[in-house]
């Protein structure tokens, strides 16, 4: 009777490498959370590379348009409050509630906003190397469409901010370091309320 040798299935080297890369990427993302300026500088560099690539090849204008719409949608989510005031009662139920200070909580936090923009920009750059995405289009029309969409969207967002009296930015406010809270330009609050005495 012949005994066949048993084959022990070892974990795939490729799967191991993918896990290692993901772990390393997550490590550096976690390290970058407290460094917003370098993160946004890296995004600006990536965005400039994408548009330089499109300018040099004189194509892939539809990718630039799609990236612009994607960034605009994320920017609106970054400016919008987590809880839309239009979903609740129109008037405060008491005088104390009307004067109460409400901290501004974003629908999309700053770090997630940056990460989505950075990933979208890198994806757009990779797409410019595939001719299937080079759809012939008259680019001035795309620019006009985007400008109109940007104007109408921002006008609606500013009207919403003015109506419900909230400010998504807080220039010049006190910054609290090592407190686990957002500070500087990424803070904000519902501006219809008075602050308590210090």
pLDDT in the model for residue 15: 66
Interior CA angle at 12 toward 10 and 13, to 5°? 115
3-state secondary structure of 28: helix
Tell me 81's DSSP state. Answer: B
Q: Are 158 and 150 within 8 A, CB to CB?
A: no
Q: What tens digit of pLDDT does each residue of 132-159 get?
A: 999 999 999 999 999 999 999 999 999 9
Q: What tens digit of pLDDT does each residue of 65-111 get?
A: 999 999 999 999 999 888 776 665 544 444 545 556 567 778 899 99
How far, in Å, CA of 167 to CA of 18, rounded? 42
Has this prediction a pTM greater than 0.75? no
pLDDT in the model for residue 35: 92
Domain range annotation of the chain: 38-84+100-169
CA terminus-to-terminus distance, the chain: 89
Q: Please give the share of the chain, as a percent, with pLDDT higher than 70.
A: 68
Q: Are 97 and 11 within 8 A, CB to CB?
A: no
Structure tokens at 70: 């994607």
How far, in Å, CA of 191 to CA of 79, rounded? 14
């Amino acid at each position: 009777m012949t005994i066949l040798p048993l084959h022990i299935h070892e974990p795939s080297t490729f799967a191991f490498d993918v896990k290692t890369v993901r772990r390393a990427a997550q490590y550096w993302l976690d390290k970058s959370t407290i460094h917003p300026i370098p993160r946004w500088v890296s995004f600006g560099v990536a965005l400039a590379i994408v548009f330089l690539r499109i300018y040099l090849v004189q194509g892939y204008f539809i990718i630039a348009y799609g990236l612009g719409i994607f960034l605009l949608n994320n920017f609106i989510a970054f400016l919008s409050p987590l809880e839309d005031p239009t979903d609740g009662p129109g008037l405060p139920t008491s005088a104390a509630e009307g004067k109460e200070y409400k901290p501004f909580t974003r629908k999309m936090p700053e770090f997630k906003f940056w990460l989505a923009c950075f990933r979208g920009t890198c994806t757009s750059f990779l797409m410019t190397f595939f001719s299937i995405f080079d759809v012939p289009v008259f680019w001035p029309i795309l620019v006009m469409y985007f400008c109109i969409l940007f104007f109408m969207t921002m006008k609606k967002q500013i009207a919403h901010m003015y109506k419900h009296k909230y400010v998504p930015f807080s220039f010049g406010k006190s910054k609290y370091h090592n407190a686990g809270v957002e500070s500087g330009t990424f803070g904000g609050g519902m501006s219809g309320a008075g602050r308590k005495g210090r």
